[in-house]
Amino acid sequence: MQYLTDRKRAQGLGAGSSGTQGHWQMMVRSMIMVVLVPLFICALGHGIGGSFAEVQEYFSRPFPAIVLALGLIVGLIHLMYEAQEAIEDYVHGVAEKLTLVALRAFCYTLIAAGLFAIAKLAL
């Protein structure tokens, strides 16, 4: 029999043995989003409203295209992990696994379609 205090049992990596890794990843994505969201909104705002030729000319420049691509990727991955947390909390069993697979497929499909659209517009 081990005589450990409650605090000694609680120290370490936590019940899931993953510690704060998920929290730090979420914090890093959030900090990236703090920078990317204003840039994304400005780049998108400056690009829309003109004719197709003007929009295509604007997004053919590297900075707006890269900002849009990075904003799309980081934003959708952030959304995917946030939704995954909610699904893991409220859905259980086979439905949880199927929902997580559908969520990942949906987010990666949106990323691929968005990057294709940006590349087609920029090139």
5, 12, 48, 59 from 69: Cα distances, Å: 51, 38, 16, 11
Q: Could you tell me the two tokens for 19?
A: 């510690």
What is the tens place of the pLDDT at every residue in 84-116? 999 999 999 999 999 999 999 999 999 999 999
Please check whether residue 111 is in contact with residue 68, taking contact to mean a CB–CB distance below 8 angstroms.
Answer: no
pLDDT of residue 68: 93
The tens digit of pLDDT for each residue in 23-60 reads 888 889 899 999 999 999 999 998 888 888 998 999 99
| Full set of structural domains in the chain with CATH | 25-122 (1.20.1300)
Q: HEC string of 23-53?
A: HHHHHHHHHHHHHHHHHHHHHHHHHCCCCHH
Q: How far apart are CA 36 and CA 80, in angstroms?
A: 17
Rounded to two decimals, the pTM is 0.79
Unique residue bearing structure tokens 């987010």: 107
